[in-house]
Amino acid sequence: QVQLVESGGGLVQAGGSLRLSCAASGSIFSINTMGWYRQAPGNERELVATITSGGRTNYADFVKGRFTISRDNAKNTVYLQMNSLKPEETAVYYCNAFIIDRIGGLLEVWGQGTLVTVSS
């Protein structure tokens, strides 16, 4: 079994910063793309950023220049540094990963989500 556990959410004022972390654990052989998504109340889940195992990144236009995704392959962990946060970015942030387990299966795994609240 493989799981993702996020941390780092919380309350921050507009213009502030937060750093999210997501650690993968379990029967892992390797991890391909990891990413962050978010879902605000009443909205669909949307892509924030992704990063490949080789470090190639992709960002949604609305976070470019403010958010940075990174990963530590040795720790099976992905991070999201969020700067200049806006109230409308209040949402549950979810970690996502494509993981190859030790019996060769390719799994898409989601974390439980971490709430980020940006006050105005």
Residues 4-28: tens digit of each pLDDT: 999 999 999 999 999 999 999 999 9
Rounded to whole angstroms, how far apart are CA atoms 96 and 39?
13
Phi, psi of 88 (to 5 degrees): -70, -5
Q: What angle do CA 41, 2, 108 make, to 5 degrees?
A: 55
**Cα 44 from chain centroid (whole Å):** 16
62-99 residue pLDDT tens: 999 999 999 999 999 999 999 999 999 999 999 999 99
Nearest to 91 by CA among 113, 110, 111, 69: 113
